[in-house]
Structure 1
Amino acid sequence: MSQTQLASVSRGNSLVLQILVGILAGGVLAYLSPEWAANAGLFGQLFVSALKAVAPILVFVLVAASIANQKQGQRANMRPIIGLYLVGTLAASLTAVTMSFLFPTTLEFATTDASITPPEGIGQVLSTLLFNIVDNPVSALMNGNYIGILAWAIGLGIALHHASNETKRVFSDVSEGVSMIVRFVIRFAPLGIFGLVASTLAKSGFDALAGYMHLLGVLLGSMFTIALVVNPAIVYFKTGQNPYPLVLKCLRESGITAFFTRSSAANIPVNMQLCRRLELDEDTYSVSIPLGATINMGGAAITITVLTLAAVHTLGIEVDIATAVLLSIVAAVSACGASGVAGGSLLLIPLACNLFGIPQEIAMQVVGIGFTIGVLQDSAETGLNSSTDVVFTAAACMAEERKNS
C-alpha cells in the first residue's frame, strides 16, 4: 500500500477503537448485570437491521451506476478478483481437510431437529441460485436476495451505459446519497456492537460450548490459518509486496464488525467504506464487494469440510486422498452457493456427507451440533468471509497499479 492509502486508512482507526471499547463495555455489562445486558441487545438489533435495510439499495445503485458510468476501455479488474475468490475458497477447504486429519475430531450424537430441511443435492443448490438470478427485482430488494440484486443491477447498468450524461449523473447522485446514509449508519457501529456483545454473552454465554472445544479449535484454527497464512501468501503472490499491513487492516476494520453482526450482507456497507478509505477503484469494488458476499465463502467451505470429516471420523469411515480432494471441491462449490440456501453453510453439510454414504439422520445431527457452536463458528466464518472480500479486491487493484506503473 502507498503512504497515501495508509494515511487514508488511519482516519478510520478512531471508529475501530470505539468499536473495541463497545466490545469491552458489552462484556463488562453482561458480567455485572445479565438482565440489563439482554435489554441492551435492542441497540444491536437496531444496528444490524439498519445495515440490512440499506445494504440492498446500496448494492443495487452502486453496481448499476458504476457500470453505467464506466468509460469505454476502462477495466474493472473483475476477472482476477473472481479468480482470487475461487482459489481462496478452494484453498480454505483443502486447509480444513489437512487440519481435520492432523487433529481428528469425534462427536457425541444427540437427537435431530426434524424441522430443518437441507438441500437434496448440488442440483438443488444450483437450481436455487438460478431462480435467485431471475427473481423479481422488487422481491430481491425486499428479501435481500443479493444474487438477484446483482443480476438486475448489472443488467440495468449495461442498459444505461449508452444513456445520456444527465441520466448517468442522476444515478451517480443517487449512489452518493445512499452512500452518505450508509456512512451515517456506520457511525453507530460502536453502540450496535456493544448491544450485540452484551446480549449474546448474557443469553448464551460459553458454557454450552465447553463440550465442543476440540471441534471449535479445529474450525477456528483452520480459519486463522487461512486469514493469517494462506490469504497473505496469495496476496504476496499477486502483488509482490508485504501482505500483512493490508491483511491486518482488513481483519480489524471489516472482520471485527462482521464477527459481531454475523452477516456478510450486513457488512457490505462496512466493506464499501473500507475500500473507499483504501482508495481502491470504485468501479471495481462497487461490483466485487457484493459479489464476494455471495461467492467468496472460504469460512463456509471450512465449516462444511470440518464438520463432515468429524462425522466421518466418528463413524470410523476410511478416507483416501482422492476422496478428500473431492470433498474439498464439493465443499468449495457448495460454499459458493451457501448464500442462496436458507440456513447458510450448516445446511449444506448433508450434501458433503452424502459423499461418504452417511445417513441423513446422522448428517442432521451434525447440523444440530453446528447450531450449538454457532455463536463462535458463524461469527468467525462471517468475519473471515467478509474481510477476505476486501483483501482480494485490494490485492487485484494493487497488482493492476503495479502493472501499469
Structure 2
Amino acid sequence: MFKKNLTQQILTAMLLGGVVGGILNFWVEIAAIQWLVNNVFQVIGQIFVRLLNMLVVPLVFVSLVGGVVALGDVGKLGRLGGKTLLFFLATTMAAIALALIMATIVAPGQGYHLETHPTYSANTPPSIAQTIIELVPNNPIQAMAQGQMLPLIIFSLLFGIAVLMAQNSGQQRVKQLFDDLNEINLQIVIIVMKFAPLGVFCLISKTFAVEGFGAIKPLLDYFLVVVVTLFIQAFIIYPLLIKWLSGLDVGIFLKKMRRVQIFAFSTASSNATIPVNIENTEKHLGVDNSIASFIIPLGATINMDGTAIMQGVATLFIANVYSIHLTNGDYAMVIVTATLASIGTAGVPGVGLIMLAMVLNQVGLPVEGIALIMGVDRLLDMMRTAVNITGDAVAAVIMAKSEGALDHQIYLANNNE
C-alpha cells in the first residue's frame, strides 16, 4: 500500500475502512468493539478532520485576498463573480429539477405504511432576510473564530478590493506577503495530507461500524434515487458542462478529482475539504491561484448541488409517505426554496437536514417526516458532499478556461500523486 501514490493509498484506506467497519458492526454491542470504535477510530478520525478544519479560516482569508489582488482589476473581479454566481445558481436549480424528475418517476415512499408516527424537532432555520443581513459581519475576527464562512468571504473580498484601490500605497508589499502566506498554507496542507490514509480509514471504519448496512433496507428506494441522481450529476451533468463550456478532456478531470472526492466523502464536510480542493485545483488541474482561491471557498459556502438533490428527493419521499399531493406550484416552490436553502447551508456534516425543514415548511409537509430519513442520511451526506465539492472544481476549471487562466500543460500532465 505504501508504494502507491497518495490517491491510491486513500482509496485503499477507504475500501478497507468500509470492510472493517461493516464487519465490526456485527459485534458493535461488545464493549471491546465499542471502545475500539469510540476511542481509537473516533479519536484519530476527528483529529484528522480538526487538522483540516484548522486550515480553513487562514486558507480562505489568505487565498481570497491574494486571489483578488492577483486579479489586479475590480472590474475583472465583478465579471468573474457574476459568471460564477450565475453558474452556481443554474447548476443548483438544474440539480433540484433533476432530483424531482427522478423522484417523480420512481415515486419513493408510495405504499410506505407508518406503524408509528416518527418525531423530529428541527432547529429553526434562518429566514432569507436574516441570511442576507448576516452576510455582513459585525466583527470579522469573531466571524473567523466561529468559522462563519459567508461573512468571512465578504470581509476577505472587501479587504482584497481595498488593497487594489490602495494602488502604490503598499500594494506590492501586501501582495507579496499574502503570496508567501498562501504558499505556507499549501505546504501545511501537504503535511496534513500525509496522514490522510489513516484518517480516512478511521472515519470510514467508525461510520460503517455504527451505521452498518441494515439502516438502508427500509428506505432502499429513497436511498437509491438519491444515489443515482448524485451519480448522474457528478458523472454525466458535470462532464457535459466541462466538455461543452471548456472543451477539456473530461476523463483527466474525473481522474484528478478522485482524491478530493474521497476526502469529501470521508469527512462529509465541504469546508474541511477546501484546503485539499484548492491545492488539487491549482497544482493538478492547472487553475490559476487567483481563480481557484476565489471560486473554491465561495463554492464550498453557496454551491450545494448534492444537498439540493437530497432535499428534492426527500421532499417527494415525505409527501408520498404522508399521501400529500404536490402541485406544479409546489414543485416550483421546492426548486426556489431548496436553491436558497443550499446557498445558506453551512459546509458541515448533517446541516442539510436542518435546511430541509425550511423546504418542507414552504410546501406544507410535516417536518417530523425528516425522522424517516435520518437513518440513512449519514451515508448520503458523505456522497452529496463529494458531489458538492466536484461542482466547485468544475466551476473553477470552466471559469479559468473562459478567463485564459488555465495552464493546459498542468491539466494534461500525469501529476496527481
Q: Tell me if structure 2 keeps the 8 A contact 1:44–1:196.
A: yes
- Find 1:113's aligned residue among 120, 125, 139: 120
1:175 corresponding residue in structure 2: 182
Q: Tell me if structure 2 keeps the 8 A contact 1:137–1:148.
A: yes
Distance 1:227 1:322 in 2: 28
Distance 1:235 1:61 in 2: 28
Please report the TM-score for the alignment, with normalisation by the length of structure 1.
0.87
2:102 corresponding residue in structure 1: 99
The aligned amino acid for 1:181 is I
- Find 2:275's aligned residue among 262, 269, 276: 269
The reply on whether 1:88 has 2:91 as its aligned counterpart is: yes
Relative to structure 1, the CA distance from residue 179 to residue 402 in structure 2 (aligned partners, 3 Å threshold; closer, same or farther) is closer
Matches within 5 A, 1:220-299: 220-250=227-257, 252-276=258-282, 277-299=284-306
Relative to structure 1, the CA distance from residue 69 to residue 244 in structure 2 (aligned partners, 3 Å threshold; closer, same or farther) is closer
Residue 272 of structure 1 deviates from its aligned partner by 0.6
- SS in structure 2 opposite 1:265? helix
The aligned amino acid for 1:375 is R
Residue 342 of structure 1 deviates from its aligned partner by 9.9
The aligned amino acid for 1:258 is A
Q: Tell me if structure 2 keeps the 8 A contact 1:29–1:37.
A: no
Q: Tell me if structure 2 keeps the 8 A contact 1:129–1:340.
A: no
1:17 corresponding residue in structure 2: 8
Residue 129 of structure 1 deviates from its aligned partner by 4.3
Relative to structure 1, the CA distance from residue 179 to residue 74 in structure 2 (aligned partners, 3 Å threshold; closer, same or farther) is farther
The aligned amino acid for 2:323 is G
Q: Tell me if structure 2 keeps the 8 A contact 1:94–1:325.
A: no
Distance 1:84 1:43 in 2: 37
Identity of aligned residues (%): 27
Distance 1:290 1:404 in 2: 21
Relative to structure 1, the CA distance from residue 247 to residue 86 in structure 2 (aligned partners, 3 Å threshold; closer, same or farther) is farther
Distance 1:404 1:194 in 2: 34
Residue 241 of structure 1 deviates from its aligned partner by 4.1
Residue 57 of structure 1 deviates from its aligned partner by 0.9
Please list the CA deviations of residues 224-248 of structure 1 after superposition, one character each: whole Å capped at 9, or x if unmatched. Answer: 1111222222222212344343244
Residue 28 of structure 1 deviates from its aligned partner by 4.1
Residue 268 of structure 1 deviates from its aligned partner by 0.1
Distance 1:402 1:160 in 2: 22
Relative to structure 1, the CA distance from residue 146 to residue 206 in structure 2 (aligned partners, 3 Å threshold; closer, same or farther) is same
Q: Tell me if structure 1 keeps the 8 A contact 2:269–2:348.
A: no
Which stretch of structure 1 is more off in the superposition, 286-295 or 80-89?
Answer: 80-89
2:413 corresponding residue in structure 1: none
- SS in structure 2 opposite 1:284? helix
Distance 2:300 2:73 in 1: 27
2:44 corresponding residue in structure 1: 43
Please report the TM-score for the alignment, with normalisation by the length of structure 2.
0.85
Q: Tell me if structure 1 keeps the 8 A contact 2:10–2:196.
A: yes
Distance 2:308 2:376 in 1: 16
Which stretch of structure 1 is more off in the superposition, 58-67 or 30-39?
Answer: 30-39
Matches within 5 A, 1:17-166: 17-30=8-21, 35=33, 36-38=36-38, 39-72=40-73, 75=76, 77-106=80-109, 107=112, 108=114, 110-114=117-121, 116-119=122-125, 124-161=127-164, 162=166, 163-164=169-170, 165-166=172-173
Please list the CA deviations of residues 248-289 of structure 1 after superposition, one character each: whole Å capped at 9, or x if unmatched. Answer: 432x12211101100000000010111112111110110100
1:349 corresponding residue in structure 2: 356
Distance 2:156 2:362 in 1: 37
| Aligned CA-pair RMSD | 2.6
2:370 corresponding residue in structure 1: 367
Distance 1:111 1:317 in 2: 17
Relative to structure 1, the CA distance from residue 166 to residue 249 in structure 2 (aligned partners, 3 Å threshold; closer, same or farther) is closer
Distance 1:259 1:204 in 2: 15
Q: Tell me if structure 2 keeps the 8 A contact 1:93–1:301.
A: yes
- SS in structure 2 opposite 1:266? helix
Q: Tell me if structure 1 keeps the 8 A contact 2:287–2:400.
A: yes
Residue 203 of structure 1 deviates from its aligned partner by 2.0
1:304 corresponding residue in structure 2: 311
Distance 1:61 1:303 in 2: 33
Relative to structure 1, the CA distance from residue 355 to residue 137 in structure 2 (aligned partners, 3 Å threshold; closer, same or farther) is closer
Any gaps of 5 or more consecutive residues in structure 1? 1-12
Please list the CA deviations of residues 184-215 of structure 1 after superposition, one character each: whole Å capped at 9, or x if unmatched. Answer: 11221111101101111222212222211111
Relative to structure 1, the CA distance from residue 70 to residue 235 in structure 2 (aligned partners, 3 Å threshold; closer, same or farther) is closer
1:189 corresponding residue in structure 2: 196
Distance 1:390 1:401 in 2: 16
The aligned amino acid for 1:53 is M
Q: Tell me if structure 1 keeps the 8 A contact 2:136–2:151.
A: yes
Matches within 5 A, 1:198-209: 198-209=205-216
Distance 1:159 1:403 in 2: 26
Relative to structure 1, the CA distance from residue 73 to residue 203 in structure 2 (aligned partners, 3 Å threshold; closer, same or farther) is closer
- SS in structure 2 opposite 1:279? coil
- Provide the aligned length of Structure 1 versus Structure 2: 384
Residue 37 of structure 1 deviates from its aligned partner by 4.5
Relative to structure 1, the CA distance from residue 297 to residue 32 in structure 2 (aligned partners, 3 Å threshold; closer, same or farther) is closer
